[in-house]
Amino acid sequence: MIGALTAMTLFACSESSLDDLQGTYKAPEEVTVTAAADQGVEKDGKTKRLYNVSFSTANGDVLTMQFVGDGYFLHEAAFTPAAAADAKKGNYVLGKSFYTRKGGGLALQVTRGILTVGKAEDNYTISGSLWLEDGNVIRVSGGGVIEYVPTDPVEVPLLKSATNNYDGSITMVFTTGGYTETLNMETYQMEYEGTGYDLQVTIYSADGKLHPGTYEPGTGYKAGCQEEMEFWGQKYLVDAGTIWYTIENGQKTPLYIANGKIEVVKTGPTYTVTLDQGKGGILVQYDGPIADLDESGDVEAYTMTNALSAVCYAAYGAPILDVVLATGDVSVDPATYAYTGNGTYVQFEIYSADGMLEPGEYTIATDDASFQPGTFRGGYDSMWGAGGTFYNHVTDGAAGVPTYITEGTLTVSGTTGTPRTFTLVAGNKVFKGIVDLKAFGF
């Protein structure tokens, strides 16, 4: 029994405890890095970023790491290993992280270990023990300077809510989607599944409308914070102001925004809202309608969070891809085409000879002759009912009379293998939603 307990104790030791067990385990090689270099940041989907960084020693050894995050710069964290297919924020990628000794020897893969990254403006430090594929261990310390410059913003393509607070301020919540939230009726706490990001923005506005301009913290927008509120005699702290949320591992983690500028630009019925904290901060952007706060008061907007169907007819000789998106809780039975819920659905009929949907701007085709690559078909009567691109309202499961789209431009964004964002602007109407074609076999 004593022998078994001793064995269990040894195996329960942490990796750091094993580092210095002389005799049984080879002592780690001390590696001090004196310089760091950015080897490029790769985009993987809407928010995921891969940071390729090399750290070099005075004698020419190089540690090359690929870290995973979500901003334009490498963040502070204790990074742990993960395979490329499973890697997420806070991991480094196995197969992309290795150590090369002076003279251009073999690149030895990093197989395990924790590497902690620290950051003070552009000055980065690293520390930790890493195991190499040849069985040796290196204990790394030191750092260097890496200057990251904001490039492409993180996109939050969907409007979750837009509210006039009637206190001289307005609040908008934008989201990437990708997660669900449910109120636990026993604990009265929100529960989360999936991963995603929210941006909450509170801007000061005397008339309760969103106006173009550049907003600074304190005078233009409310910095993120927690405020005390009282409910049924109990006092609670609640989030308020401008906040960047990360949703993962069942948690919603706030980053309170107290610096940087918010720029609002308006083109027709479409707003572009950008939060830019500059070097070392986050860069986030929403592009779409905000009807409830629109300064013109004449915009009809629909945010579609339900992808009901995506069907390609190329196998039948027709270069057509039909995509149906819906708002609210609208759903449809694929066998009977019976709708349930309340809201609005939109059918997009897009030219596609192979079922692929390339990002870009699509113009409207008003007849069969003009229905060519780069177009979407306007609404029309067909022998099967409504055809082309149209929208319809659903009330208690009953669909109304379809309204044909006969003008406008459809913009499709997203990279190969990621969900596509649809934005259709037709006069004063704007339809925006997301569809993951992979979910429908594409």
Question: What are the pLDDT digits (tens) for 138-172?
Answer: 999 999 999 887 777 888 989 999 999 999 999 99
pLDDT at 13: 42
Cα–Cα distance for residue pair 130/52, rounded to 1 Å: 17
Would you place residue 15 in the very low, low, confident or very high pLDDT band (cuts 50, 70, 90)?
Answer: very low
377 vs 153, residue with greater confidence: 377
pLDDT at 211: 96
| Residue 7 pLDDT greater than 50, yes or no | no
Tens digits of residue pLDDT in 97-144: 999 988 667 889 999 999 999 999 899 999 999 999 999 999 999 999
* Percent above pLDDT 70 for the chain: 92
| Residue 12 pLDDT greater than 80, yes or no | no
| Residue 187 pLDDT greater than 80, yes or no | yes
Tens digits of residue pLDDT in 61-83: 999 999 999 878 899 999 999 99
| Residue 22 pLDDT greater than 90, yes or no | no
> What token pair was written down for 121?
């403006």
Report the amino acid identity of residue 294: D
| Average of per-residue pLDDT values in the chain | 88
> What token pair was written down for 82?
């993960």
Single pTM value for the model: 0.64
| Residue 202 pLDDT greater than 90, yes or no | yes
Which residue's entry shows tokens 């329960």?
12
The mean pLDDT value for 292-306 works out to 88
Q: How many CB atoms lie within 10 A of CB 391?
A: 25
pLDDT at 104: 63
| Residue 88 pLDDT greater than 80, yes or no | yes
